Each structure stands twice: as C-alpha cells, then as structure tokens.
C-alpha cells in the first residue's frame, strides 16, 4: 500500500538493512489478526521515561503527529519485547500486540498468511501507516490534515468511499476479509495517544471516517489488521 520508503519507519528500515535487504514498501494483511481485543494498560504512559526517538517516548496526541508517526514496527516490538515475558501481560492486557505476534503462525490457525522471507514480519501499523492505507488503498485525500493541530479528525462521507476502494483490492483474493462500515468498525494502530487512550481508525455507520483514539481497555469489536515491510 506504500512504496515510499520514508514511511516504512526507522526501526523497520534498520531491521531490513541489517539483513542486507533493500527496503521497498509496505503490505497490508488480507485478514484481521483479531476481531476484538484491547490495546493495553490504562493509566500507563508507555516508555515515558525513555530516550528521545524511542517508541512511545512522545505521545501521538495530535492529528499532525498521527501523520508523522510511521514507527509501527518499532512500537509493536517494543510492547512485545517489554511484556512478552511478563507472565500473562501480553495475552491478557496488551492483547492487540499478542495477536499481531501470532498472526501468520500455525498456533493461531493463520499459517497460510505467514509473512514471506526478506520482510520484517507482521506488525500493527502505526497511525501514520494507517494514514497511508486510507490514502493509497482507500483513495481518501488526507493531504490537508497533515499539519492539523486538532486532537482527532472526523471526515464526513469518507468511510464508505475508503471501504469500497480498499475492498476492490481484497475482493480479487480468495479468503480475504473485506472492510465494512456496518454498525461501525474500529481498527487499532500501534500508536499511543496518552496514558488512557491509543490511536485508531473508525469507520462509522453514518459514513464518517475518524482518525481517533479509544480507551486502551476497550475490546469489543476493536480489530487488528497487520502490515509488513519489505
């Protein structure tokens, strides 16, 4: 969904180049890793004491920051590396990342969607990478919002257009899970809004597209659709 290597993210680019792989772009999964999961722990600002430039050091709490955040690989693996050996923290609390870590494996019955060699493997796209999915696959022009200082963005009429355009690609592939507005469909990003909320994309049932945030503990019908870089 993107061949702009500047949108792959620093961590993913380093992973690829360390393996002598020239970065080319990003790919979106054909199916969801989960159809209902929470993002993480409420009232915890992830890595707030970390170094500048590390995942989650800065919150993604403005629309222009959503556009700029392209570190889905780095954010996903920071959570997995931090909580993966912490008892049940990953499957019970950071459930979106748990499902992302298992997507494409036999253990999750998604082995046929295993990421190819010479890729990063699957990760949750950051808010900026979701931005690119909506722009490039959904054909929604988000250019005017790149410098928006608001805390979220609602775009009237955009949801059915984005869904229809994305589904034109998916309907050509057997077994792919289409997008829907239905009763409202939410997808998590890897990006943290603040200590209470995480960022995501919401296609509402009244035709609105939301670049939004939701409480980290919400799980009902909050989905995960992964990406990989290659």
DSSP state of 114: P
Task: Look up the domain containing 161 and give its range.
Answer: 5-229
Number of domains making up the chain: 1
pLDDT of residue 179: 97
47: confidence class by pLDDT, cuts 50, 70, 90:
very high
Q: What angle do CA 123, 224, 65 make, to 5 degrees?
A: 70
Please enumerate in sequence order all residues whose Cβ is within 8 A of that of 130, keeping only pairs 6 or more positions apart, or say none.
Answer: 187, 189, 200, 201
List, for residues 118-152, the tens digit of each pLDDT value: 999 999 999 999 999 999 999 999 999 999 999 99
List, for residues 8-44, the tens digit of each pLDDT value: 999 999 999 999 999 999 999 999 999 999 999 999 9
Distances in Å between the Cα of 66 and the Cα atoms of 49, 61, 115, 193, 200 are 21, 7, 26, 9, 10
* Nearest to 126, CA basis, from 72, 188, 166: 72
List, for residues 100-116, the tens digit of each pLDDT value: 999 999 999 999 999 99
What's the rounded mean pLDDT across residues 90-97? 98
List, for residues 175-228, the tens digit of each pLDDT value: 999 999 888 999 999 999 999 999 999 999 999 999 999 999 999 999 999 999
* CA 126/CA 66 separation, integer angstroms: 8
What pTM value is reported for the model? 0.97
* CA 33/CA 29 separation, integer angstroms: 9
pLDDT of residue 228: 99
pLDDT of residue 182: 84
pLDDT of residue 181: 87
Please enumerate in sequence order all residues whose Cβ is within 8 A of that of 221, keeping only pairs 6 or more positions apart, or say none.
Answer: 35, 36, 184, 185, 186
């Amino acid at each position: 969904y993107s061949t702009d290597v500047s949108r792959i993210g620093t961590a993913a680019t380093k992973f690829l180049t360390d393996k002598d792989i020239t970065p080319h772009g990003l790919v979106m999964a054909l199916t969801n890793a989960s159809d209902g999961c929470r993002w993480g722990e409420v009232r915890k600002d992830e890595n707030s004491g970390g170094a500048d430039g590390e995942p989650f050091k800065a919150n993604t709490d403005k629309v222009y920051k959503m556009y700029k955040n392209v570190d889905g690989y780095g954010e996903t693996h920071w959570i997995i590396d931090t909580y993966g050996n912490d008892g049940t923290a990953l499957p019970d609390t950071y459930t979106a990342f748990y499902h992302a870590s298992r997507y494409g494996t036999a253990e999750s019955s998604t082995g046929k969607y295993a990421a190819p060699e010479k890729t990063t493997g699957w990760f949750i796209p950051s808010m900026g990478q979701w931005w690119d999915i909506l722009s490039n696959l959904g054909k929604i022009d988000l250019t005017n919002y790149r410098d928006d200082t608001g805390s979220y963005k609602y775009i009237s009429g955009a949801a059915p257009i984005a869904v229809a355009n994305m589904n034109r690609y998916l309907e050509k592939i057997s077994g792919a899970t289409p997008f829907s507005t239905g009763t409202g469909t939410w997808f998590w990003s890897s990006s943290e809004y603040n200590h209470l909320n995480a960022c995501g994309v919401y296609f509402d049932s009244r035709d609105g597209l939301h670049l939004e945030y939701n409480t980290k503990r919400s799980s009902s019908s909050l989905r995960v659709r992964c990406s990989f870089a290659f």
